[in-house]
Structure 1
Amino acid sequence: MEEEKKKHREGKEYRDLVNRLSRIEGQVRGVKKMLEEDRYCIDILVQVQAIQAALNGFNKTLLSEHIHSCVVKDIQEGNVECVDELCETIKKLMK
């Protein structure tokens, strides 16, 4: 069985990511409320697009942090397989 990988995030990085997710969570709750209030379809779709953009921003930030920390560390330790993992992850993100 493969060992579960973990990454400790320092204060600012952690807070920034959690804050982004909290804002996204609030946006999702807002869309749910819009649906419950029978709001116009286009208005809801615009808000969903904003959520998708926010999630993309979250992914970009997390991916950048991953490259600058985990990938660099792995390469320095001789684990170049991390590049294949990174490439596969990027492919999934770009679907």
Structure 2
Amino acid sequence: MPEDARKRARRRLSIARGHLDSIVRMLDDPEVYCVDVLRQIKAVQGALSGAGDVVLRGHLEAHVATSAGRGDSVELVEEVMEALRYR
């Protein structure tokens, strides 16, 4: 994976971790409003989805786009199909 994609994915995962830590703290408060918790959960899901998009794009750019020149297009199609199962 290209280094810039690694950095972007790491940043998004750090954001998700921050949101997740916030949710855990919120749940320690008996007065917390449920909708606020749901909002934070959605933020974590968005950050994780964004990280997944960055990793997938990095994979496509680094490996799939260059597969024809290497002659391993068939194998990479199978690999991309597997990666998409995780999305």
Q: TM-score range by the shorter chain?
A: 0.7 to 0.9
**Structure 2 residue identity aligned to 1:58:** A
1:86 aligns with 2:70: no
Equivalent position of 2:18 in the other structure: 26
Q: Is residue 49 from structure 1 mapped to residue 42 from structure 2 by the alignment?
A: yes
Report the Cα distance in structure 1 between the residues aligned to 2:57 and 2:85, rounded to whole angstroms.
Answer: 15
Amino acid at match of 1:18: R
Take 1:47 and 1:25, find their aligned partners in 2: how far apart are those partners? 11
Q: Which runs of 5+ in 2 are unaligned?
A: none
* Alpha-carbon distance, 1:13 to partner: 2.8
Shift of 1:63: 0.6
Residue 4 of structure 1 corresponds to: none
TM-score, normalised via structure 1 length: 0.77
- Which residue of structure 2 aligns with residue 37 of structure 1? 29
C-alpha separation between the residues in 2 aligned to 1:68 and 1:27? 29
Tell me how far 1:64 sits from its aligned partner. Answer: 0.7
Question: C-alpha displacement at 1:75, in angstroms?
Answer: 3.6
Kindly indicate which of the two structures has a greater share of residues assigned to helix.
2
Unaligned runs of 5+ in 1: 1-6
> How far does residue 62 in structure 1 lie from its aligned partner after superposition?
1.1
Cα separation, 2, equivalents of 1:76 and 1:42? 51
Runs of 4 or more, structure 1, over 3 Å off, are: none
The alignment's TM-score, normalised by the length of structure 2, stands at 0.83
The question of 1:15 aligning with 2:7 is answered yes
